[in-house]
């Protein structure tokens, strides 16, 4: 119960802060351009708190449902833009109504929300770099037999210093650099016995893993040395019937040493209906258990366990200098923006399953976990979600800021405002699409909770 409350609190803090940042972007640019703002709300539904600005013009609202927010400007809604409604406006109101402003002013207001999300992410990542991150060192702990890494001459104990000339200070940095080398021939500079050694390899193009989440292990064949542990055993599952317990360390499956989670999962998937022998370490004792993998309703082969992997290397604290941290803020935000767009694109083209889409429950769980890990991790989480908000809001969907920019582009081409009826219909379509996406993401969250 306490874990749920903790995750919920972290989620509310994160979402409320990032929505406030986004809406403040719209608000501050509109006010500076002389557009009349009537309401600034963080959240939807009944107002928990509200107050007026000093000039009495703006109503500020903290609402009960922290899953959105909005800035209400005079003349923003389609039902305020008809000839009859415009005739009711005073000269002062006409001069400050949103829909009567030049296209560039309205575009600036629409773009300001996502832009401030990106600015927030840049500064958040700068803080992460300056405060220091607990990082996994680039020390090789395991090299898969017959892999690309072994054929290139990589050995356990080697420390990767550069990837194709780019210095790397953490395993994550190295992974990100390796993603750029897919399909290329490149070199690694490693430290072996305190001497620099150059290792060359070529990584083939990938079809099975379009997200390239784990290039070193899945493609090249080396990892930091991982301990694979059973985090949870689902009640009534084949794993429970076989005797697996939470805390067991998986050592072998069918006489093969288990070097990573993916390797174990692949062995399970290829053994549907056939018993597999799993060797686990429980305390100081090695046990051989026999598990029968089964297919579920989605034809996914499972045994009913949640697994976790932990690197055998100890983490190191890596702090960046003023210049490196400054640059990191921009480069990390750009990398996360590109990755987010890539994921959206691959979901649309079905290159990856939409089942990977996470909703509020997944975000809340991640918020709670990062808050537990400490301030730096939580700031990094805020930066990532802020990038996602910025990208999502720039998609060309009606009711989103990207849809508004499309409207304004069409208006500029036509030379006159779009018909209010057209705006109403397309915004309703956009609302249906967004609500449908949110329901689907929430369904994914619930499904993951039940299937484990």
Active-site residues, by number, are: 23
- Please identify which residue in the block is written with the tokens 């290159």: 351
Tokens 């429980």 sit at which residue? Answer: 282
């Amino acid at each position: 119960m306490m874990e749920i409350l903790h995750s919920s609190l972290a989620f509310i803090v994160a979402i409320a802060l990032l929505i406030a940042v986004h809406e403040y972007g719209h608000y501050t640019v509109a006010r500076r351009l002389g557009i009349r703002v009537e309401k600034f709300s963080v959240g939807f539904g009944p107002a928990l708190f509200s107050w007026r600005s000093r000039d009495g013009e703006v109503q500020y609202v903290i609402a009960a449902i922290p899953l959105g927010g909005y800035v209400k400007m005079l003349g923003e809604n389609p039902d305020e833009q008809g000839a009859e409604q415009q005739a009711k406006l005073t000269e002062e109101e006409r001069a400050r109504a949103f829909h009567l402003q030049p296209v560039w002013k309205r575009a600036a207001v629409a773009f300001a929300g996502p832009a401030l999300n990106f600015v927030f992410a840049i500064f958040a990542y700068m803080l992460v770099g300056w405060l220091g991150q607990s990082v996994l060192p680039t020390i090789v702990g395991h090299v898969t037999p017959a892999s690309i890494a072994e054929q290139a001459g990589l050995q356990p104990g080697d420390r990767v210093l550069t990837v194709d000339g780019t210095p790397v200070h953490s395993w994550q940095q190295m992974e990100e650099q390796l993603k750029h080398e897919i399909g290329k021939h490149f070199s690694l500079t490693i430290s072996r016995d305190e001497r620099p050694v150059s290792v060359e390899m070529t990584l083939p193009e990938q079809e099975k893993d379009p997200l390239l989440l784990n290039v070193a292990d899945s493609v090249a064949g080396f990892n930091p040395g991982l301990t694979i542990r059973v985090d949870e055993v689902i009640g009534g599952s084949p794993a429970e019937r076989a005797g697996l317990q939470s805390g067991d360390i998986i050592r072998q499956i069918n006489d093969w040493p288990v070097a990573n989670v993916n390797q174990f999962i692949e062995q399970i998937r290829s053994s549907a209906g056939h018993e597999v022998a799993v060797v686990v370490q429980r305390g100081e004792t090695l046990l051989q258990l026999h598990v029968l993998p089964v297919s579920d309703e989605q034809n996914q082969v499972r045994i009913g366990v949640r697994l976790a992997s932990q690197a055998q290397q100890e983490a190191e604290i890596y702090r960046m200098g003023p210049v490196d941290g400054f640059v990191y803020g921009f480069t990390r935000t750009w990398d996360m923006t590109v990755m987010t767009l890539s994921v959206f694109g691959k979901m649309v083209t079905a290159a990856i399953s939409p089942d990977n889409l996470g909703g509020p429950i997944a975000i809340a769980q991640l918020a709670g976990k990062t808050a537990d890990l400490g301030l730096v991790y939580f700031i990094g989480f805020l930066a990532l979600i802020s990038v996602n908000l910025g990208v999502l809001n720039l998609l060309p969907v009606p009711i989103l800021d990207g849809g508004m920019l499309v409207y304004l582009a069409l208006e500029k081409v036509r030379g006159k405002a779009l018909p209010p009826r057209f705006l109403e219909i397309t915004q309703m379509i956009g609302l249906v699409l967004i609500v449908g996406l949110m329901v689907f993401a929430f369904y994914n969250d619930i499904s993951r909770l039940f299937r484990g």
